[in-house]
Structure formats: C-alpha cells, structure tokens
Chain A
Amino acid sequence: MAITDVDAFAHLTDADIESLGVELDTIRLDIEDSLGARDARYIRRTIAAQRTLEVAGRLMLAASSKRSAWWAGTATLGLAKIIENMEIGHNVMHGQWDWMNDPEIHSSTWEWDMSGASKHWRFTHNFMHHKYTNILGMDDDVGYGVIRVTRDQKWKPFNFYGNVLFNTLLAVGFEWGVGLQHLELGKIFKGRDDRKATLIRVREFGVKAGRQVVKDYVAFPAITSLSPGATYRSTLTANAVANVIRNVWANAVIFCGHFPDGAEKFTKTDMVGESKGQWYLRQMLGSANIDGGAVMDFMTGNLSYQIEHHLYPDLPSNRLSEISVRVRALCDKYDLPYTSGPFLVQYGKSWRTIAKLSLPDKYLRDTVDDAPETRSERMFDELEPGYGGVDPRTGRKRGLKTAIAAAREWRRDKRAAKSA
C-alpha cells in the first residue's frame, strides 16, 4: 500500500538521512557557485535556435503544401514546440534561469507555447507535483484522476476499458490535459468547487487557450492561404499534427519519470513532519531516469535526469548531467536504488503497468506492498529484523538496494519451493 515510512523503507537511520541531506545540499551549493557566462550562453543560444527552427518550420509550410514540404515543415514545427516546452518553458518556469536576472527569461514572466496557462502550471506542477511528489491523494500527476497507474488506487469498473483508452487520449491531447488540470472538471461537474475561484481559472485558461487556438488554427492558416504554394487546410492540419507530435512526446517523457517499474509511490503519512533529508529521499525513490545520449537529454529538456531534476528543480538543466554523477555516487554510498533505463524500456514499462491495472486486483499477482510500480516497507517483513546496517560478512553497508534484492531472492525461492 505504497510507502508509509520512508526511513524504514530506505533502511536508513535518522542520522543517515540527515547526512544524505547535507551531502545533497553541498551539491546544490557547488553548482550555484559555479553558474556563470557559459550557462547563460547555453540558454540564450537554445532560445535563439528554437525560435529560428520555429520560423523555418512555418516558412516551409507557407512555401509549399507538397507532401515532402508539408512533412518537413510539420516535423520542424513539432520539434520547435518540443524544445520550447521541454528544454525552455518547463525549465524557465521552474526558475532555473532566474539567477540571470533577465526579465525575459524568468519564471515570473514566461508563458509557454501550449494551451495551458503557465500560472496554473506553476501551481499543479512546480508546487503540488514537486512538493508532494508521488503522494497518493496529493500529487494529481499520479494518474491525473482518470488513469490507474498504481494498484494503490482502487479499481473502478471504468478502468477496465478506460485505462489504456484514456492514457492514449491523454498522450494525444496532452496540452489540453495539462491546461485543464487546474480547473478540476470533476469537481465542477459534481458542484464541489469554489465557484468564484473556478471562474477566475476558467477565464485565465480561456484567454491562454484561445490565443493558442487562434494562432495555430486561424491566423497562421489564413496567412499561408495567401501564399500560392500552400492552402489554409494544409497549414491547419500541419499545425495540428505538430501539436500532437509535441503532445505525445511530452507525455511519454513525463510518464517515463514516475511510472516505470521502481518509481515508488507514497502515502500522506510520509509528509507529516518530513525533514529536508526525507524529502530528498522521497524525490530520489519516486523518480526514474532515461538512459540516452546528448540528443535524448536535450529533447527531454534534460528530464532524462528526472531524479536530479526532482532533487533540484531550480538548478539549470544543462548541469543535471554532471550532477547525476555525484547523485549516483551517493546512491551507491547509501545503498539506494537509482532507477534508470533506456527510453523504450521505461516507456514500455509504464504502458505495461497501465494495461495490467485495467484489471481488478484479484487478477493481479503482486500485492500493493511489493509490485513493480509500488512497494512498501512491509515487503521486508520476512527479512530478519535489523537487516539494515552493516553486513557482518562483507562489511558493506546494507541498505535498500541490497534489501530489495534479498526480498526478491527470498520470494523467488518461495515460489520455486511451491511449484516443486
């Protein structure tokens, strides 16, 4: 039933967690001290390149509606939108570049190229998701209210047909999911919302989404229809497809961050009196990285370092790669798992879990205490008490990683014994 006691689950003492916190704080200080002209140049060039790419894509679409030009323009525009949302917008809104004191590249002014208002995003994502990461009932990103992503969520009949269907729809229309998340449609329909606050949010969303719709589906098609090479329709469809390309990719990256096997879920008891060290620990255990090269890092907005991003949401994305080396070393030191895998594997695992969880629990083999997508400290009940600490044989610190391996081995043995 998800983790209710982070310390016990992690096999760490209070002192361990405190010193882990201090070591993670040190990494932050080192990075903040070294921020300078090189980093500023990175984001400026990224922004310049992204805007150039966008203009190039729009020009291609205006120039010709021939199949090759249409696809080239659409792909270029999709790429530009991905970079704007992932490496620029998401990260700027996290305040990663606020240290430059540039009002044009600042969390307080950035509005991104998608239908959601950045003000709402700062609430649902920066605040609720990043503070209460993976806590059931607090972090709405755990399933977005429509998808069962962990067996901690009670099975409902609509999950049977809805889990895979809604996940597909969410992927295709992700910008609308993000945009509407803060409006809480479910509550509005049940009449359980604060009408005044809702109206303000609806207006904020309406203004933003309206501008986006006019741009992509009215203004640009109208302008390109003046070009002899293209038509209103060709640009309209191209813009729609570019938006979907961005939606599917952004959705995939985000799902790879918290839903592959090994990304833990938590309960509200974890956040009561949570120390900084415990918060760090929850971020590490609840996130998963993507193994890939520089291109993957850039295209995911460096969310391929989801663990590091969750530890330091406001440190510049171009530094997460070097931070990851130090975080991995800390995970080794404290014997903590570091969840990571290739993109297709991680994304596949997310889908597998979602497909599996369409079914009610009685058809599922694993329990809420020891399943791929969620575990709890109870999975270690069968291990001898005081398993954590130092292995008397090897002298190595025995922590969560070793304990998980031991529990798995024990479980395998039990199954083998049963079938024999």
Chain B
Amino acid sequence: MAKNDVKTNAKVVDTMRPTVAGAGKRPVVDAVRALVGRITTPLLPDDYLQLANPLWSARELRGRVLDVRRETEDSATLVIKPGWGFTFDYQPGQYVGIGLLVDGRWRWRSYSLTSAPVTSGRSRTITIAVKAMPEGFLSTHLVGGVAPGTVVRLAAPQGNFVLPDPAPASLLFLTGGSGITPVMSMLRTLERREQLGDIVHIHSAPTQSDVMFASELAELARTHQGYRLTVRTTRTQGRLDLQRLDDEVPDWRQRQTWACGPAGMLDAAHTVWQAAGIADRLHLERFAASRAAAHGEGGTVTFGRSGKTVVADAATSLMEAGEKAGVQMPFGCRMGICQSCVVGLVDGYVRDLRTGSEHEPGTRIQTCVSSASGDCVLDV
C-alpha cells in the first residue's frame, strides 16, 4: 500500500479530553477551573492539586476509605469520604462503581449504596456493603484487605431500583443475603425522612449470624411500629415459598414491592406477581452475576454507539468483526503497536490475541489484537 493511501484512509481515534465530574452545576467553580486551566494546559488544575490531596480532583471521582466495619463473618461496610465532584443527591437503592488499585491495576465493581442520601449537613460520607464471594477476588479483598485511608475511584451513582419520594403508603421488602444492601439505604432514608410507615420486610439468610445489619434492623423494628420485620433462616426454616406468600403477607397484592436477592428468588417473585396481574407493583434488582471470562470462545459483539451486533469467533479481531458489521472502527497499524484503535470495553470480556490474557469490563482495549471472550459490548 502506498504511503498516501495509508494516510488518507487512516482513522485515528480522538484523544479523549479529561472530563470533570459535576461540571455545569457550579458556574463559579467551572469558571475558575477554566481560567486556571489556561496555565495548567494540557492538564487540569486538578492534576496538580491531587498531588497534595488525592481527593482534590474532580477529573475522576475519588474517595477515601475512612472505616471498614465488619457486618458478618464474610461481609463489611465501607465508609467512604468522596472527593471533589461527587454529588450526594443519589436515590436510595442506587449502586456505585468502586475502583480499587490491586497490584498496580484499577479493578472495578459495583456495589449498592447503603447510606441515605444527604441533602445538607456535615457528614459527607457514603457507605457501601460488600459480601465476600468465594470466587470474587475483589469482594474478598474489599472485605478483608482494605486499610482505612486507602484511596478508591468512584463512578457516579446509578440504577433504577429506587424508592420514590414520597414513598408509597404500604410497602413490602423481599430480600435475601446481600440483597438487603439497597433496601438498607431505603430504610435509612425513610427513617431520616420520618416516612417509615406501613412496611413488611421479609429477609432470608442461611443463619441468624449471616444477617447483615441485624442489630440495626432489630432496632428499627423495635422503635417503629409500622415496620414489621421477619427474618427467615433458610438453613433451618427452608426457603420462603412465594406461592404461599398469602400465609406470610395476606395483603401483598396491595403493596408496592421491592425485591433483591438470589436470582431464583427474583425469578419466582416475577412469576408470582405476573400471575397475579400486578407485575407493575414489583421492583426487582438483579446483581450482575460475577461472570468469569469464557476463555477464547468468541461471542456476540455489540457496538454500543451504533447498536450494531455481530457474532465473532475467537480468532477474529474485534476490529475485523466491527468492519464486517459496517461499523466505522478507528484503526492504525492493525498489529497492536500504535494505540490508534483503543476503545472502552463496556461489558463482557475480551482476549488479547497475542498473549491470551483476558481484559475485564471497565478497561480500554486495542480492537486490532483482541477477540471476544463470550458476549461483549464496545463503546464505539
């Protein structure tokens, strides 16, 4: 190929400009940043200030772990003080992405916020609760190995599993295991807003000692008459049979229900509410299964921005797959050395064709030397 052809055809990906969390909300801050940015360009003022204090940067949301409180044998609450740019007006039930530096690499997971949103006041912290999963490397690390003072990265809170304000008059919470975490935020918010009215809460855990927030829940039940808590220890009492929910909660059909827990429980709830013709009164949160990479098996590749999809085998690079599907893929050398084709991996895993190593969601990948490892979504 002639040099001129290479040059006219080239499509090098744009350099991503640094984004500032919370931009557009406080005009004065934005103006100061833009002005000072004239002398810090190509960097932001934040890039210098974060050397003095890691939280003094809104370029990436950050936070400092203030405390790690053990909840049960295998779960813990992390109290985090967010840095610049974090807004505390999240909704109870939402989750937040946490990036933790492990062996020099930032690894990301999402966890439900358990704290109540703050609209005013001094205690500008958030809490998340993490349950260590046997196969979950990061969750185990968070529960057991994070020292107070550790700086973490945060992603803005998101999620649709939220409680409206004001809350419905009568509520049913169905939770299992760590599915209690988003509901904990709801309960705390309701208590703070003094809206803790008619609530039935059925929580399942293997044994009593596996119940997260046990004492706080008991205290809530003691001090608030409307809040009726039933803890079901499934190892002795067996699982809750939702077909016989009438025995436990006779008026469940009249209640707005939020359910979060194991997939089996949520599927059953979906069936039961569907059959009763009131599926609109059921709100579900499915924690994304911590899925491991399907080592080098190919899969369906979705190109997020165009919405196009294509099935690609393990030997086809994502770049070729995209071009075949008619997506304008950025490209350069096509041999893995020039970084002209780097795009975000939104979901799923991909495999480096040169080394066989797997890349996880939340990373940016070279499409010319990566192939699908199971289904994946690219930000292109």
- Interface positions of A (Cβ within 8 A of B): 25, 28-29, 32, 35-41, 48, 51-52, 55, 93-95, 98-104, 106-113, 117-120, 122-123, 126-128, 130-131, 137-138, 184, 194, 197, 208, 211-212, 214-215, 219-220, 223, 279, 313-314
Contact = CB atoms under 8 A, between A and B. Distances in A.
Contacts of B60: 103-104
B38 to A, nearest CB: 5
B295 to A, nearest CB: 17
A95 B104 contact: no
A139 to B, nearest CB: 9
Contacts of B335: 131, 279
Nearest to A126: B338
A131 B333 contact: yes
23 contacts: A32-B357, A37-B104, A93-B339, A101-B362, A102-B106, A104-B18, A104-B47, A109-B17, A113-B42, A122-B339, A126-B337, A127-B332, A127-B340, A128-B3, A128-B6, A130-B337, A131-B335, A131-B337, A184-B7, A211-B38, A211-B41, A212-B42, A214-B38
A211 B16 CA distance: 17
Interface string B87-115: 00000000000000101111110000000
Nearest to B357: A32
B337 A111 contact: no
B364 interface: yes
Contacts of B336: 314
B133 interface: no
A211 B15 CA distance: 16
Most buried by A among B6, B48, B333: B333
Interface of A is mostly: helix
A123 B340 contact: yes
Most buried by A among B16, B104, B106: B104
Given A52-B51, A55-B48, A215-B39, A122 B103 contact: no
B233 interface: no
B106 A101 contact: yes
Interface of B: 3, 6-8, 10, 12-18, 38-39, 41-43, 47-48, 51, 59-60, 101, 103-108, 332-333, 335-340, 342, 354-355, 357, 362-364, 366
A212 B41 contact: yes
B38 A100 contact: no
Contact of B332 (A35, A98, A126): A126
Nearest to B331: A127
Contact of B337 (A52, A104, A117, A314): A314
A106 B355 contact: no
B48 A108 contact: no
A109 B51 contact: no
Given A32-B355, A138-B3, A122 B12 contact: yes
A137 B3 contact: yes
A51 B39 CA distance: 13
Contact of A39 (B43, B104, B362): B104
Given A28-B355, A95-B342, A108 B106 contact: no
A35 B48 CA distance: 26
A39 B101 CA distance: 13
Given A104-B60, A127-B340, A51 B48 contact: yes
Given A103-B364, A123-B332, A126-B339, 8 more contacts: A28-B355, A36-B104, A40-B104, A100-B104, A109-B17, A128-B6, A194-B8, A215-B39
Contacts of B42: 111-113, 208, 211-212
Contacts of A223: 39
A103 B12 CA distance: 18
A219 to B, nearest CB: 5
B338 A127 contact: yes
Nearest to B51: A48
Contacts of A123: 10, 12, 332, 338, 340
Nearest to A137: B3
Contact of B339 (A108, A194, A212, A215): A108
B338 A130 contact: yes
Nearest to B107: A101
Contacts of A41: 104
Contacts of B363: 101
B11 to A, nearest CB: 10
A52 B47 CA distance: 11
B338 A122 contact: yes
Nearest to B336: A314
Given A36-B104, A98-B339, A131-B335, A215 B48 contact: no
A197 B335 CA distance: 24
Contact of B15 (A32, A110, A219, A314): A110
A38 B104 contact: yes
Given A122-B338, A128-B6, A108 B38 contact: no
Contacts of A103: 16, 60, 364
A208 B59 CA distance: 20
A49 to B, nearest CB: 10
Nearest to A89: B42
B340 A100 contact: no
Contact of A313 (B10, B13, B337, B355): B337
Contacts of B106: 100-102
Contact of A122 (B39, B51, B59, B332): B332
A197 B106 CA distance: 37
Contact of B103 (A25, A36, A110, A220): A36
Given A103-B60, A215-B38, A127 B12 contact: yes
B366 A95 contact: yes
Nearest to A49: B51
B138 to A, nearest CB: 13
A95 B339 contact: yes
B15 A118 contact: yes
Nearest to A108: B342
Contacts of B41: 211-212, 214-215
Contacts of A37: 103-104
A353 B10 CA distance: 33
B347 to A, nearest CB: 15
Contact of B12 (A38, A99, A119, A314): A119
A51 B364 contact: no
Nearest to A41: B104
A122 B105 contact: no
A28 B101 CA distance: 23
B15 A108 contact: yes
A219 B104 contact: no
Nearest to B8: A194
Contacts of A130: 333, 337-338
B51 A40 contact: no
A52 B340 CA distance: 31
A99 B1 CA distance: 32
Q: What are the 6 tightest A-B residue pairs by CB atom distance, in nearest-first order?
A: A40-B104, A126-B338, A111-B42, A127-B338, A107-B339, A127-B332
A103 to B, nearest CB: 6
B354 to A, nearest CB: 8
Contacts of A111: 15, 17, 42-43
A55 B47 CA distance: 12
Contacts of B14: 119
A101 B333 contact: no
B38 A51 contact: no
